[in-house]
Structure 1
């Protein structure tokens, strides 16, 4: 059936993609990575969707949290950037905005001025017990401080949702759930709302997909380096009209922790295949991106992170790196910059597609 994942492994192709019209969204660690990607390569993007994610370089809020940099960033990530004890200990958006400006001046990310005119969707469920709404509200403040106009920011904290991307699938978890697979039924399709906010008027989603959901070898984009903590395969939905040569845009959809296609549990640092959860490719196939992409000539790119838990990379839950685990030098991390191994890989995929 059209839209099923092809059994073959292909090389990611190039299409007639409009430059500067790409967009990106993500949930949780994918949302933190969305903000990092948006700033690192703002010349490539016209908008972003942030579901339960905090502001740029949030994990570096307080370097003095520990004598060891790696420990300090992890402590910040686990507490200040996810569930601060009281609202006043949530991330300082003004300080992080200043840090973003300095990072741009240092030439490590694109100019901040590129963000002007971008459309940003920001969402936090009022029942989210994983990343508190006080953190996500700082993301709205952060973007405003960087020059994104209030009218271009859609912010919603009114839905009693748990930590999840929301669908209208009856088989998904109840709306207020805060546990894997982090896909909850709220009687609306959140991915459609994100793309409509970014791009304006879009055609109705396709009832039947026309294109192909491709599996490609993404190791060519990160050199198969273990510290990348990325899976062997990535996925891309390509509408048939785009494959036939129509002009297109690209949307990058970043899953959250424990949502990659090959997520497994780790027990004492070892892959526990016997308890592998049946989440599979649900983020790729059931979150609604493909149907609205199909009718609007939008390629949907699904890069994949995977869990690793060893002396080199401690990322057992398969999260995208927003606190520095993939950096070669913990004292001088690069996870937030154009030099970051994951950001380079994802942007390489976007460039290959033509965006």
Structure 2
């Protein structure tokens, strides 16, 4: 595990960035931007839904772990309880969310919903999740179906006795936990459930087996270059760079978005080292981007959540939203090498 928990040496930073002075900049690599994918937990899952829907023309697929449908809160935090499935017998209405997405697409604020028909969507809801309950996640599945995602492209896993967490084969809390760091281990059919692998395989198809000991590097970079402090996004974010990508081979990007109270400021390096993405990335030429949001008073974000209800502005769910645009700019930068 220690090989995953180190910062990039000065020599490699120079090699990647060109000079020691530029070491805090996000480096660029070769790759295909149309092979980008996204996943997230909780508020990160709501953000992953928003990102997938808004940029569906250039996003290959998404992994949604305990997240509700697109534009569920409609810009009002008072709707959050319904969107999280916390109001018995009052689930979110996915048809209303599709109407909202169609209206945004008609205005050119997001990509046409027809672009979703070629995308692949993985959705997960643990049966013991007490934070985002299954009736909310059921609505997410219904939303994607109504929006045009074919059944063959949509995988819904809703029978694992998991709490509110990213699921790994062996790291983290007991399977049914609903507690920090919101990473848990579960067994399915007698073996550890590798959620990162399940997400990436569903999106990309058959992949090389994951690395036992990743040989790439985690780079901490200046996220403020992409998002102002008023976005609630942290000063620093992270990207995992497989050796093959650093050596110039073509790569693709997966964006892994943490949940509330799960940024590096709260859980340290656990989300960007222990959720399993890096092992799969290492053998499959995947750059894994780990953007970060921290708690703040201005804007009011006391739990360090991604904006899925409008604390950064009423345009939070469209392409021009400050957090959405920041992620898109980071992805574009990662794949900007000529």
> Does TM, normalized by the shorter one, top 0.5?
yes
Match of 1:266 in 2: none
Match of 2:169 in 1: 168
Matches of 1:130 and 1:255 in 2, distance apart?
A: 15
Deviation at 1:5, TM superposition (A): 3.6
Match of 2:309 in 1: 323
Kindly provide the CA deviation profile for residues 21-52 of structure 1, in whole angstroms up to 9, marking residues without a partner as x.
Answer: 10000000000000111111112211000000
* From 184, 191, 195, the counterpart of 2:196: 191
Moved over 2 A (4+): 1-5, 7-10, 83-87
Kindly provide the CA deviation profile for residues 226-263 of structure 1, in whole angstroms up to 9, marking residues without a partner as x.
Answer: 32001110100011111111111100000000110013
Deviation at 1:2, TM superposition (A): 4.6
Alpha-carbon contact 2:67-2:137 (below 8 Å) kept: yes
Match of 2:250 in 1: 247
Distance 1:107 1:248, change over 3 A: same
Three-state SS of the structure 2 residue aligned to 1:100 is helix
Deviation at 1:111, TM superposition (A): 1.5
Alpha-carbon contact 2:42-2:67 (below 8 Å) kept: yes
Match of 1:238 in 2: 241
Query: Would you say 1:76 and 2:79 are equivalent positions?
Result: yes
Match of 1:271 in 2: none
Match of 1:296 in 2: 284
Matches of 2:212 and 2:53 in 1, distance apart?
A: 34
Unaligned runs of 5+ in 2: 11-22, 187-191
Deviation at 1:19, TM superposition (A): 2.6
Alpha-carbon contact 2:5-2:269 (below 8 Å) kept: no
Match of 1:313 in 2: 299
Match of 1:179 in 2: 179
Query: Would you say 1:104 and 2:105 are equivalent positions?
Result: yes
Query: Would you say 1:336 and 2:324 are equivalent positions?
Result: no
Alpha-carbon contact 1:205-1:294 (below 8 Å) kept: yes
Three-state SS of the structure 2 residue aligned to 1:11 is coil
Q: How does 1:1-355 map to 2 (within 5 A)?
A: 2-6=3-7, 10-60=24-74, 73-77=76-80, 79-87=81-89, 89-170=90-171, 172-186=172-186, 187-222=192-227, 225-263=228-266, 279-309=267-297, 312-327=298-313, 333-354=314-335
Distance 1:230 1:282, change over 3 A: same
Alpha-carbon contact 2:33-2:332 (below 8 Å) kept: no
Alpha-carbon contact 2:56-2:119 (below 8 Å) kept: no
Unaligned runs of 5+ in 1: 61-69, 264-278, 328-332
Q: TM-score, normalised by structure 1?
A: 0.87
Q: TM-score, normalised by structure 2?
A: 0.91
